[in-house]
Structures are given as C-alpha cells and as structure tokens.
Structure 1
Amino acid sequence: MGLLLIVVAGVGAYYYGQEVHKQNIAYEKKVAKAEKAKELAYSSRKTSDIDGAKKLIVELHDKDKTSLSKSMTQLINYLADIDKVSKAVAKEHENITEDGIKEAEKELELLNASYEKTDKEKLMKRLDADKQVLAERKKEAEQVAKMKDELANQKLIALTFDDGPNPTTTPQLLKTLSAANVPATFFALGEETKAYPNIIKEEADRGNEVASHTWDHKDLVTLSAEQQKEEIESANQLVNQITGKNVTFFRPPYGSYNKSVLSQTNLSAVNWSVDTNDWRYRTSAPVVQNVSTYAHDGAIILMHDIHQWSVDAVPQIIQNLKAQGYTFVTVSTLLAVRDGGMKPQQVYFGR
C-alpha cells in the first residue's frame, strides 16, 4: 500500500511538472510575442501596432510587464517629441525667416535619443535647405536693390519670344541677341522644349531668361482645373530642369487666363503691353514699325521666335530702341525694378 502511494505520488508529480513546463513554454511564447509586437511598434510607429503591443504586454507577469511597458512609454514619448519638432519645422517652412529657423533649431535639441537620430537628421536637412533659400532671397534682394539703383533713371524695355524653340530660327536669334549684348525672355512650349532641349539650355547659358508657355498652347480657360495645372506645371518643371534655374512665372497662351488658371500653381503669369502682331505678316518691316510706334518705358514686347520675318526684324528693332535710349532687360528684371518683383498667382503686363 505504501509503495502504491509512492508510485501514485510520483506519477502525479510527473504530470504536474509536465503541466508547469507547458505553462512556462506558453508564457515564454507570450513574452516573445509581446517583444516582437514592441519591436514592430518601434519600427512602424502605427497607432494600431502600439495599441496591439500594449494589449499583449498587459497579459504578462509584473516583471516582464514593467520592463516592456516602460519601453512602450519611452516610444510614445519619442514620437511625441518627434511630432512636436516636426510641426515646428513645418511651421517655419511655411514662412522662412531667421527667427523661425532659430526657434526650430531650439526644438531640434529635444531629439537626443539614438531612436530619434534619423528623424533629427532629416529635419536638420530641411532646415539647412530653408537656410539656403533664405540666403538666396537675401542675395536676390541685394541684386534687386543694386539693379534699382543702376536702372532707376533709365528707359527699360523687355523683348519676349513665344512658341519656340525652333531649330532654324531660334539659333539665329540667339546670335543676334548675343552680338548686341541684349537679354530677352523666351516663353517656350513644353513639347518644343522636349524636342530641342539643347536650344533651351543655350538660351539660358547666353544670359537670357526661359519660362513656360504651357505644354502645347491650349487656351487654359477652356480646360478643367486639373488640366490647367498639368499644362502649366509640366512645361515649367521641364524648362527649369534643363536650364538649372527656378523661374517662377509663365505666359498663358493667347494671354488668356481667369481666377482658376492663376490659382492652380504658385507661379506668376506674365502677358505683354506691346503686341507686334508679327504672326500676321510675312515680312519684317511691319514688325519693326509696330515696335517703333508702340514702344514705351516699362513695356513688355510680344514676338515669336518661330517666324523667320520676326527674327529678321530683331536687329533693326534693337538698333532703333537703343537709339531712343532704351535699355534692354529681362521680364523679371523689368518687373523687379518697376513693380518690386512678381507675386504668386498674379498677372503682369508691364507698363
């Protein structure tokens, strides 16, 4: 009887031990699952993953629960700090100023943990880019002030050429402008820019200004808002990519615009105050005559570098206007001196 009790007790202890072993293994799996959920939360930063990890941690024993809960609290604190600093940098970016940058830099000092290092580096790069923007603005402002002093008492006029580039006529025009030391502003079509990128680059490299005339010369007011934006931005981005500049204005085809057209981008629109009507003719004489008749201080003159007779008219136009005491400038220089520069979503005609 005693032996039987010993055997039964031994068997019971064995099964009890086995049960405890199973429970330990099951618990270890729960701990591992909670650890994995915590790592996922740190990696993804998703609210759903954070909440999921919290639920798993709550089911653990106090020792493990305390350790993992502390880690999750730290994650939440990290994300709160990162969010706070990101908002500060975003606010600064909306209106870039020296004071705004300094305030954002103070906020960045909050991010000192190794987990926050990547976020901090990204935000610092954004601030560095804004510092560069601010430096460029200061430089531009200094240049504008200098131009205003130099050109304040001069008669200014801007030659502009639409619809190019043309592989035959535009190179001729560029040689004429360079020989006369006259800058011009080219409003290029996106489809022609794509076809002749080297000419676009040459225009800019020779000291001229190159801007968008939309992609393929559609009347913008007849298009949907989405189509308007695509027409304007696609050409603008391609021109800037080729020239390496950041021109922030365009010319609407036919000079046609409305509130919707102007609101689709942050670009300015530039039309004209003197129309040579060069497209109507087949000889240069009437083009020259129209410029002579209507030229005035602060004028923006509309021509097209796709017509041979228009290009042929340019040497005489330059000679006549120089004789009348005009100084040739680009559109942006003219509007900077006369109007203090261009504002986004506004239209300009010169004077």
Structure 2
Amino acid sequence: MKQRRLKSKGAKKAFWKLTLLIGALLIVVAGVGTYYYDQGVQKQKIAYEKQVDEARNAKDKAYDSRKANDIEQAHKLIDKLHVKDKTSLDKSMSQLTNYLSEIDKVNQIVAKAHENISEEGIKSSEEALELLKAPYEKSDKEALAKQVNADKQILIERQKEAELIANVQNQYANKKLIALTFDDGPNPNTTPQLLKIFSDAQVPATFFALGKQAQACPQIIKEEADRGNEVASHTWDHKDLVTLSPDQQKQEIESANQLINKITGKNVTLFRPPYGSYNKSVLSQTNLSAVNWTVDTNDWRYRTSAPVVQNVSTYAHDGAIILMHDIHQWSVDAVPQIIKNLKAQGYTFVTVSTLLTVQDGGAKAQQVYFGR
C-alpha cells in the first residue's frame, strides 16, 4: 500500500515536471516565433523605407533634370507606395508637371519674341514671366529674363540705328551724292598729300587699304580715319580672291580688316575685293559687305592727271562710287580739279557707308554694292 502511494506520488511529480517542461518549451517556441516575426516585420519595414527613399530620390532627380524618362521613373516608384506616402509625392509630381507645362508655354512665348524682336513681343514675354509663381522657378525666370533683357538691348540698338539712318537720309535728302574711293594704299609719299587736299576742301573719301600697307604705315591709316575719312579693307596683299581656297579667302579679307579696325579704333564693315573679283565662296567667308564701283577712272593706265579728271567728269552721276588709287602721283594731282568740277555740278561728297545708308538704309552683310 505504501509502495503504491509512493509510485502515485512519483507519477504526479513527473507529470508536473513534464508539464513545466512543455510549458517552458512552448514559451521558448513562442518567443522564437515572435522574434522571427518581428525580424520579418523589421525587414519589410526597412525594405519599404528604402522604397520610399528611392521614390523621393527619383522625385528629386525629376525636379533637377526635368527629363521625361526621369519623370516617368519617379511616377513608377511612387505608384508602388502606400496611400499616405503616395499621395504626398504625387502632389509634388503634379506640381512639377504643371510647372513644366507653364514653363514650356513661357519658353515658346520668349522664343517667338526673340525670332522677331519688337516692343509687343518683349511685353508679352515679361507678362508671361510674371505668371511663373512656383517656389522653384527662380533659375528659370533668371535665364528667361536674361534673354528678354538681351532682346530689349537689341531693340534699343536697332531703334538707335534706325534713328541714325533716318537722320542721315534726312540730312542728304534731295542731294546729288558721290563717293571718291582710293585703293592699294597707304603710300608714304602720296597719301599724306591727298589727306591735306581733302582736309583743305572739307571733303571726305573712302580708302580701301591693303593690310600689308597698313602694317607698314599705321600712322597714315590712323590719320585717314582721324580726319573724317572712311578706312576699309582691300585684303592683305591684293590677291585675286576667286583663285584662292576658302580658308585663304577668309585670311586675306579678315586679317586686313582686323588690323585696320585695330589701328583706327572703328568697326568698318566694308571691303573691296581686288580687281572687283568675287564669287559666292568669297562672300561667304566674311560678314563684311563687298564694295566695287560704278566709275573706273582707269588712273593706273596713265601718267598724267588730265585723263583721270576727264573720266570722272564724263561718267560721274548721282550715287556714283568713283575708283582711283592713292599710290599714283598723277591720281593725287587730279583730285583738286575733280573736287572743283564735281562741286560745280552740285555734288555732295560722302563716304561709301554714308552713300549706302542714304540709298539702302546701310550696307548689308555678304552683299555686293556698286553704288548707282
């Protein structure tokens, strides 16, 4: 009997031990499960936060680049987010999309105004710029405002130029105009004589100087300009331009023009091709205007001044450009009589640029002029 009680007591004790062990195991299992569950949740949370960061970064990139593919990528990443985050980022992307639509319209307005600069176009551009109110529009407005201000300056310069042209045309309205031009100088012996003749007669002329001669006699070039004459390029050393390569043509024209403008401190936009020889290639190598002549005195053929004077008297006409050379003594000797004769016929002497301003509103780049 006593042994039975002992066995029963031992069984109960074993039962409770087993129960406690099972309970402990369940607690451990539950703890492990909870741990791994929490770990899974944490991983999901981290992964989602990474998604949010990627979406935000994509949004920022879209704002910076404004490229269509970056905007599309940002929308794709945002669409994968939870409603709360998606709503916030969608709002930002909508603002960007709307702003880009606005800035595109403003760009078109400014570009159209730039194509044909006018007061109306500039006013439209300024009004459009005022409509850009997004907080991130500063750089766009600054860039567009810079373009509008540049167009304003162009318009101001054009208005000034138009006013000057009108003044010149009014000054010489109903007058017989003629331009005396001299090629191939300056010559240290003959050109100074010619400058004194023009100063004494208060008559301007246009000198088409060779670059190599300008380099040799810069003080004469400067004196020509300082006395109110026009000085322009006759190329560097009088080569027939149509026989040269395009690069050589450009070098011949521009090297002389740049040197002469540097010496005179002015920006004359004319040149005379040697022998009056040019083609499309020659004209395309420069933005200068080519000037030939309507009256050739053929002074290089003679050794006396009389035939030079006679040729001018015979062929002079309103709007004429007279060709002579300041390197010949007989040509210089002919000038006082030429001036006297033409004044007696009622002519007013002007530079080539003034003549072309009166006739055509000024010389145009890459055009050829002969006078009239």
Q: TM-score, normalised by structure 1?
A: 0.74
Please point out which of 117, 126, 137 is paired with 1:116: 137
Going from structure 1 to structure 2, the CA distance change for 1:283 and 1:71 (only over 3 Å counts) comes to farther
Q: CA deviation at 1:298?
A: 0.9
Please point out which of 335, 341, 347 is paired with 2:368: 347
Structure 2 CA distance for aligned equivalents of residues 324 and 335 of structure 1: 21
Please point out which of 353, 359, 363 is paired with 1:332: 353
Note if 1:159 corresponds to 2:183: no
Q: CA deviation at 1:283?
A: 8.0
Please point out which of 90, 93, 96 is paired with 1:72: 93
User: Counterpart of 2:69 in structure 1: which amino acid?
Assistant: S
Note if 1:43 corresponds to 2:69: no
Q: Deviations over 1:186-236 (max 9, x none)?
A: 556789889999987776665444556668867665678898789878887
Structure 2 CA distance for aligned equivalents of residues 31 and 118 of structure 1: 28
Going from structure 1 to structure 2, the CA distance change for 1:107 and 1:28 (only over 3 Å counts) comes to same
- Give the alignment of 1:131-280 within 5 angstroms: 131-161=152-182, 181-187=202-208, 207-209=228-230, 250-258=271-279, 268-277=289-298
Q: Bigger radius of gyration, 1 or 2? A: 2
Structure 2 CA distance for aligned equivalents of residues 227 and 345 of structure 1: 17
Going from structure 1 to structure 2, the CA distance change for 1:107 and 1:247 (only over 3 Å counts) comes to farther
Note if 1:4 corresponds to 2:19: no
Q: SS of the counterpart of 2:147?
A: helix
Q: Deviations over 1:2-34 (max 9, x none)?
A: 111211221222222223223322332333233
Going from structure 1 to structure 2, the CA distance change for 1:75 and 1:12 (only over 3 Å counts) comes to same
1:84 is aligned to: 105
Q: SS of the counterpart of 2:137?
A: helix
Going from structure 1 to structure 2, the CA distance change for 1:181 and 1:131 (only over 3 Å counts) comes to farther
User: Counterpart of 2:54 in structure 1: which amino acid?
Assistant: K
Q: Percent identity?
A: 77
Q: CA deviation at 1:299?
A: 1.1
Q: SS of the counterpart of 2:321?
A: strand
User: Counterpart of 2:56 in structure 1: which amino acid?
Assistant: E
Going from structure 1 to structure 2, the CA distance change for 1:296 and 1:53 (only over 3 Å counts) comes to same
Q: SS of the counterpart of 1:115?
A: coil
1:61 is aligned to: 82
Q: Deviations over 1:69-128 (max 9, x none)?
A: 322232232232222222222222222222222222222222233422222233233323
Structure 2 CA distance for aligned equivalents of residues 34 and 196 of structure 1: 72
Q: TM-score, normalised by structure 2?
A: 0.71
Say how many residue pairs are matched.
351
Structure 1 CA distance for aligned equivalents of residues 47 and 186 of structure 2: 75
Q: CA RMSD in A?
A: 4.4
Q: SS of the counterpart of 1:10?
A: helix
Going from structure 1 to structure 2, the CA distance change for 1:42 and 1:346 (only over 3 Å counts) comes to same
Q: SS of the counterpart of 2:136?
A: helix
Q: CA deviation at 1:350?
A: 0.5
Please point out which of 90, 94, 99 is paired with 2:115: 94
Structure 2 CA distance for aligned equivalents of residues 64 and 201 of structure 1: 75
User: Counterpart of 2:294 in structure 1: which amino acid?
Assistant: S
1:30 is aligned to: 51
Structure 2 CA distance for aligned equivalents of residues 238 and 111 of structure 1: 48
Q: CA deviation at 1:135?
A: 3.0
Greater shift in the superposed pair: 65-74 or 340-349 = 340-349
Q: SS of the counterpart of 1:153?
A: coil
Structure 2 CA distance for aligned equivalents of residues 53 and 27 of structure 1: 16
Structure 2 CA distance for aligned equivalents of residues 101 and 146 of structure 1: 26
Please point out which of 116, 127, 132 is paired with 2:148: 127
